Chain A
């Protein structure tokens, strides 16, 4: 895993401003807003990610999201829906492992492959694909959990790991703890699902045109 070089002053200013904002937010949140008190992805941040992908204000499905994400990260992202009738063992194996889908990444081919069984209920199918894409967007696939020495504590509660910016869409580094990464992938999937359905009617997209 590569380690980022120290950011220049130009790169440091927005980070510092963001830290001030988060510090002020956290001091407010400590007063009693439980939903935002944790350092997880907010819908506003997700909407900014959609702007970067060119999907804000647009209706989109998981295929469009995967395509835009792959283009941004310089990867080929494929979604393979496994027909259970012809591959029942794969579905059964996934079910017994307690997972509904998998993402496989090949660095040498610059390719990510999402595998989900076709027999999943419709919502779970879409959500699983978006969840796996959420891991890709967060840079979770590039986390090297073995290198504990690279742990940097962004906050005492939610430590993060360094992943180069070009390997993720997320503004912030991925979480060190797998449970936190899973939770954030769920959040990203939920935001993506709703944003994809609502398109330009998404109030978070509209708020970016109503800043004053």
Chain B
């Protein structure tokens, strides 16, 4: 077994062991498209180097072919890394580019070009190698200049692209706002990619040493470089393994965010806007009168501001739904029920709803937050209940708060809901009478001008 075969055997064993680890990763929940790429590469390399260890190469063109085949997985990994950083891999799931690349179109283009340049360099090297063959896989023997040109054509572009990818991963790892786990993940990938660049550099230096260094010095240097190559290969695989094992799960899931952004928010906005059109545009008659009377009655009942707002909001919701029946594209009872379901899903996500408060300090006029989101849900639920479109709590209306009774009385007063329905759904007669009395007094006061809110 010559030195090249010994080195091939070592690399085959390294790749075999690493591929077993990566097979474990691909079968776990930590599997990603890249873990699959690495695993396939390692398996391919184990087979290639195992074959080289077992079979002695005869002839310079056979050596060129062997060198080309052994470099193919390496070039593939570097290409994949760069194209993924540019945001074009994996094709089928439409991954984003690396954050530090996204705003730099020229850099994206450069990274994406690795998908063309590296295979092009491989084809160029193959053409050159077969036209001017040389001993490409002899470990310690002197080599002609053709061997250097062949190797450098393969390795220099790969080294540059791998070096660039390593720098970008390092920049990503240094981002201030990044989670620690993601920081370590990117640092691990930076280290692994840097090792790839060093492997390419080592390979180029190896070819140069064989061509230009004399006798003993050549043997000493090339032997050292082979050891360095093995160490770099182990370090690279270990760093990739660490990076893939550091799985990051976001605190707020992607489907939740998508759901809020594309369904709940537009639907809530449509509903709120329609409510505003109905009230401000004067389309929903009676809402202003009812709101005024509810405010006065709430004062007599000693309700808090939030409770008063909920009673008024409920009446506005009923008016908007009633008004929307004329325009099915806007707000209908069915759409209101759908919105109610969406709200339920959002409101019960405490982690997410607490984040909505954060916009308050960043916006020039926003008062939107968890309390408001919850209020919208409660008001819509009350409106749907009063319209008979959704059932309320399991105990019926008996345990409903005073503001619910007040909203019912106010809505019935201006004809938004049927008065007979009000008496049916408000089970607690004592509470109903108390609210009715306060409301009637408010109406009377407003007529004789004695009430001043």
Q: Are B261 and A190 in contact (CB under 8 A)?
A: yes
With known contacts A121-B276, A206-B250, A211–B363 Cβ distance under 8 A: no
Q: Are A119 and B265 in contact (CB under 8 A)?
A: no
Give CA–CA (A42, B276) in the complex, Å: 29
What chain B residues lie within 8 Å of A100 (beta carbons)? 273, 276-277
| A200 contacts chain B at the CB level, 8 A cutoff | yes
A78: min CB distance to chain B, Å: 11
| A108 contacts chain B at the CB level, 8 A cutoff | no
With known contacts A123-B265, A210-B248, A25–B359 Cβ distance under 8 A: no
Q: Are B269 and A128 in contact (CB under 8 A)?
A: yes
Interface code A195-206, partner B: CB below 8 Å = 1, 0 otherwise?
Answer: 011111111111
With known contacts A122-B372, A201-B251, A209–B261 Cβ distance under 8 A: no
| B393 contacts chain A at the CB level, 8 A cutoff | no
Give B183's nearest chain A residue, CB to CB.
Answer: A209
Give CA–CA (A118, B280) in the complex, Å: 12
What chain A residues lie within 8 Å of B251 (beta carbons)? 201
Residues of B within 8 A of A (CB-CB), count: 70
| B172 contacts chain A at the CB level, 8 A cutoff | yes
A51: min CB distance to chain B, Å: 4
Give CA–CA (A52, B108) in the complex, Å: 13
Q: Are B273 and A208 in contact (CB under 8 A)?
A: no
| A110 contacts chain B at the CB level, 8 A cutoff | no
What chain B residues lie within 8 Å of A121 (beta carbons)? 272, 275-276
From B8-16, B89-97, B225-233, B298-306, give the one contacting chain A.
B89-97
Q: Are B92 and A25 in contact (CB under 8 A)?
A: yes
Q: Are B248 and A197 in contact (CB under 8 A)?
A: no
Q: Which residue, of B112, B280, B358, has the highest number of chain A Cβ atoms within 10 A?
A: B280
Chain B 72-126 interface residues, beta-carbon cutoff 8 Å to A: 81, 84-85, 87-88, 91-92, 94-99, 102-103, 105, 108-109, 112-113
A-side residues, CB < 8 A to B, are 10, 13-14, 17-18, 20-21, 24-25, 28, 35, 42-44, 47-48, 51-52, 54, 56-64, 79, 81, 84, 91-92, 95-96, 98, 100, 117-128, 131, 186-187, 189-191, 193-194, 196-212
| B54 contacts chain A at the CB level, 8 A cutoff | no
| B178 contacts chain A at the CB level, 8 A cutoff | yes
What chain A residues lie within 8 Å of B257 (beta carbons)? 43, 194, 198, 202-204
Chain B 238-274 interface residues, beta-carbon cutoff 8 Å to A: 243-244, 248, 250-254, 257-258, 260-262, 265-266, 268-269, 272-273
What chain A residues lie within 8 Å of B260 (beta carbons)? 190, 194
Q: Are A81 and B102 in contact (CB under 8 A)?
A: no
Give CA–CA (A67, B182) in the complex, Å: 30
Q: Are B358 and A13 in contact (CB under 8 A)?
A: no
Q: Are A208 and B108 in contact (CB under 8 A)?
A: no
Give CA–CA (A80, B366) in the complex, Å: 14
Q: Are B96 and A47 in contact (CB under 8 A)?
A: yes
Number of A-B contacts (CB under 8 A): 212
Give CA–CA (A91, B84) in the complex, Å: 50
Q: Are A209 and B98 in contact (CB under 8 A)?
A: yes
A10: min CB distance to chain B, Å: 6
A93: min CB distance to chain B, Å: 9
A150: min CB distance to chain B, Å: 24
Q: Are B276 and A209 in contact (CB under 8 A)?
A: no
- 21 CB < 8 A contacts A-B: A18-B88, A44-B94, A51-B102, A54-B103, A56-B99, A57-B177, A120-B276, A126-B366, A127-B268, A127-B272, A128-B269, A190-B261, A193-B265, A194-B257, A197-B359, A200-B178, A201-B251, A205-B99, A207-B254, A209-B175, A211-B85
Give CA–CA (A58, B99) in the complex, Å: 13
Q: Which residue, of B185, B266, B373, has the highest number of chain A Cβ atoms within 10 A?
A: B266
What chain A residues lie within 8 Å of B243 (beta carbons)? 212
Contact of B362 among A190, A196, A211 (CB under 8 A): A196
| B55 contacts chain A at the CB level, 8 A cutoff | no
Chain B 351-401 interface residues, beta-carbon cutoff 8 Å to A: 355-356, 358-359, 362-368, 372-373, 376
Q: Are A209 and B281 in contact (CB under 8 A)?
A: no
Give B269's nearest chain A residue, CB to CB.
Answer: A127
What chain A residues lie within 8 Å of B94 (beta carbons)? 21, 25, 42, 44
Give CA–CA (A64, B361) in the complex, Å: 12
Q: Are A61 and B252 in contact (CB under 8 A)?
A: no
Give CA–CA (A90, B58) in the complex, Å: 89
Given contacts A59-B359, A128-B273, 5 further A-B contacts (CB under 8 A): A24-B92, A48-B96, A54-B103, A123-B269, A198-B252
With known contacts A10-B109, A35-B262, A20–B280 Cβ distance under 8 A: no
Q: Are B272 and A123 in contact (CB under 8 A)?
A: yes
Q: Are B88 and A95 in contact (CB under 8 A)?
A: no
Give CA–CA (A61, B366) in the complex, Å: 9
| B186 contacts chain A at the CB level, 8 A cutoff | yes
Contact of A201 among B252, B261, B276 (CB under 8 A): B252
With known contacts A61-B359, A126-B368, A48–B248 Cβ distance under 8 A: no
Q: Are B359 and A21 in contact (CB under 8 A)?
A: no
What chain A residues lie within 8 Å of B405 (beta carbons)? none
Give A45's nearest chain B residue, CB to CB.
Answer: B96
With known contacts A59-B358, A201-B251, A194–B261 Cβ distance under 8 A: yes
B272: min CB distance to chain A, Å: 4
A24: min CB distance to chain B, Å: 5
What chain A residues lie within 8 Å of B359 (beta carbons)? 59, 61, 126, 193, 196-197
What chain A residues lie within 8 Å of B364 (beta carbons)? 61-63, 79, 81
What chain B residues lie within 8 Å of A207 (beta carbons)? 95-96, 254
Give CA–CA (A128, B365) in the complex, Å: 12
| B434 contacts chain A at the CB level, 8 A cutoff | no
Give B363's nearest chain A residue, CB to CB.
Answer: A61
